[in-house]
């Protein structure tokens, strides 16, 4: 669509089909633009699977992204030595590309999806199985998928379940079978699924947790058991990644620290002048392997944030604190913590020890989030809008843990880059504070 829009913009600009030389010159000049625009779309969330569930928001998000893209394109062409300064072409390109992209998203892509329609059978007895069914039935793009759910909990014997599955597959022409392979009765049902796979050779089988993670970007919590944890939480397979990530943290914290030093001095002075209190604030958090770490921040609140008293403390945001918290400036001193290795740029956000003590008792496997170094920004901060602040919330923390477990399993440089880029959107939208 980017390339097609450029062709269309040039045709409008010159009143005829552009010749090969003009097209080549503009493709070379716009190549960097295409890359930057793709990054902006990634930050905006336009490549998230979840976008398929919010068709009405697509035009709005594209318009917002295109405004940023226009500014970037102007910066590239009029600052960098590209060789072209296509003012009219650039304006036409913005209009044409916006129309083309919206047309692709709202009409062509759904048309292509229609050619991939499936008759889906979800088999399981978990809340996640019902969530998947709801997505297939209510999501605009997934309405093309005819989905049904067979609740394994409604059948007292395996033979009854087998009969129901065979009847449904044969009657409805099921093409995709999504099975809850990590449920409590998975060992009993695994041979049955195997028999169905052999008997119905054309039937595609997928694991429910696998599909669920692709749809929601979190681990299906009710499917967690010791076997899953042993398979997906190995530290050995990430040794090279962990070592290189540490190198990035050291160089990144030094570079950003020197670059932002004047800004940090200004913030420290403003915090000090407001009420005469200390500019910096030190607090204890739980780090890797449950070891306590001392986090440094600019003071933005009043009240107790230490020990068990923190759970009942009434915190008040200061005037300067409200400003610096809105754009996360209060966390700039944590670059020192990144340099020291207490935290990383990317990882699960560290919690207060008092909260950790509560959650470890209330939430199974909660301590697994401490297998890796905590971070300034994490997967849960991007995708879990309801994460709790300054208080105990077992239900939402359990949901937040599902995202932390997703990161624990899939962590990589590409995922870290995605988190870093989408953190920009979080800062600009002033969410997650």
Q: Which helix H or strand E contains 205, and what residues bound it?
A: strand 204-207
Q: CA-to-CA distance for 188 and 429, rounded, in angstroms? A: 48
In the beta sheet, which residues pair with residue 283? 295
Q: How many residues does the chain have?
A: 433
In the beta sheet, which residues pair with residue 133? none
CATH of span 119-210: 3.40.50
Burial class from Cβ neighbours inside 10 Å (0-12, 13-18, 19+) for residue 113 reads: middle
3-state class percentages of the chain: helix first, strand second, coil last, to nearest 5: 65, 10, 25
Structure tokens at 307: 């020990």
Q: Which helix H or strand E contains 301, and what residues bound it?
A: strand 301-302
Q: Tell me if 175 sits within 8 A of 145, measured CB to CB.
A: no
**Location of structure tokens 């300034």:** 376
44-47 contact pairs (CB < 8 A, 24+): 44/425, 45/422, 45/425, 46/105
Domain boundary assignment for the chain: 2-114, 119-210, 236-428
Q: What does the pLDDT read at residue 187?
A: 63
Q: CA-to-CA distance for 347 and 179, rounded, in angstroms? A: 31
Q: Which residues contact 227 (CB under 8 A, 6 or more apart)?
A: 182
State the pTM of this model.
0.82
Tens of pLDDT along the chain (433 residues)? 899 999 999 999 888 888 888 888 888 888 888 999 999 998 888 887 765 556 677 888 888 899 899 888 888 888 876 667 777 888 899 999 999 999 998 888 877 777 777 889 999 888 888 988 988 887 766 666 788 999 888 888 888 888 999 999 988 889 899 988 666 566 667 788 888 888 888 888 888 888 898 888 998 887 777 767 777 776 666 788 889 999 999 999 999 999 999 999 999 999 999 888 889 989 999 999 999 999 999 988 876 555 555 555 566 788 888 888 888 899 999 999 999 999 999 999 999 999 999 999 999 889 989 999 999 999 998 888 766 655 677 888 988 999 999 999 899 999 999 999 888 877 766 544 3
Q: In the chain, count H helices and then E strands.
A: 18, 10
Q: CA-to-CA distance for 16 and 382, rounded, in angstroms? A: 46
Q: CA-to-CA distance for 214 and 207, rounded, in angstroms? A: 11
């Amino acid at each position: 669509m980017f390339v097609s829009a450029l062709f269309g913009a040039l045709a409008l600009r010159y009143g005829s089909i552009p010749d090969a030389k003009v097209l080549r010159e503009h493709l070379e000049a716009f190549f960097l633009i295409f890359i930057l625009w793709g990054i902006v779309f990634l930050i905006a969330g336009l490549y998230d699977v979840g976008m398929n569930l919010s068709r009405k928001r697509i035009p709005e998000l594209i318009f917002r992204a295109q405004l940023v893209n226009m500014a970037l394109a102007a910066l590239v062409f009029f600052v960098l030595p590209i060789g072209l300064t296509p003012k009219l072409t650039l304006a036409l390109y913005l209009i044409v590309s916006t129309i083309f992209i919206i047309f692709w998203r709202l009409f062509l892509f759904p048309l292509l999806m229609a050619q991939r329609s499936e008759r889906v059978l979800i088999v399981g007895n978990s809340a996640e199985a019902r969530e998947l069914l709801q997505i297939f039935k209510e999501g605009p793009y997934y309405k093309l998928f005819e989905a049904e759910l067979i609740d394994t909990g409604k059948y007292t014997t395996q033979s009854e379940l087998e009969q129901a599955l065979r009847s449904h597959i044969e009657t409805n022409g099921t093409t995709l079978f999504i099975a809850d392979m990590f449920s409590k009765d998975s060992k009993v049902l695994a041979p049955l699924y195997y028999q169905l796979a052999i008997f119905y050779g054309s039937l595609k089988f997928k694991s429910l947790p696998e599909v669920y993670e692709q749809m929601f970007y979190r681990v299906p919590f009710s499917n967690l058991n010791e076997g899953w944890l042993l398979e997906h939480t190995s530290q050995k397979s990430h040794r090279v990644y962990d070592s290189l990530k540490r190198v990035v943290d050291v160089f990144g914290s030094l570079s950003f620290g020197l670059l932002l030093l004047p800004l940090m001095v200004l913030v420290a002075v403003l915090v000090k002048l407001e009420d005469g209190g200390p500019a910096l604030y030190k607090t204890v958090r739980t780090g890797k392997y449950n070891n306590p770490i001392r986090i440094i921040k600019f003071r933005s609140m009043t009240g107790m944030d230490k020990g068990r008293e923190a759970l009942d403390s009434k915190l008040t945001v200061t005037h300067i604190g409200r400003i610096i918290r809105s754009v996360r400036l209060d966390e700039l001193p944590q670059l020192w913590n990144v340099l020291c290795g207490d935290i990383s740029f990317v990882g699960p956000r560290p919690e207060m020890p008092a909260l950790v003590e509560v959650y470890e008792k209330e939430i199974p496997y909660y301590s697994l989030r401490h297998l890796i170094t905590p971070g300034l920004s994490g997967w849960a901060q991007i995708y879990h809008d309801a994460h709790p602040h300054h208080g105990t919330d077992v239900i939402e923390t359990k949901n937040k843990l599902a995202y932390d477990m997703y990161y624990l399993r899939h962590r990589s440089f590409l995922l870290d880059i995605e988190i870093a880029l989408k953190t920009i959107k979080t800062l600009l939208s002033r969410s997650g504070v």
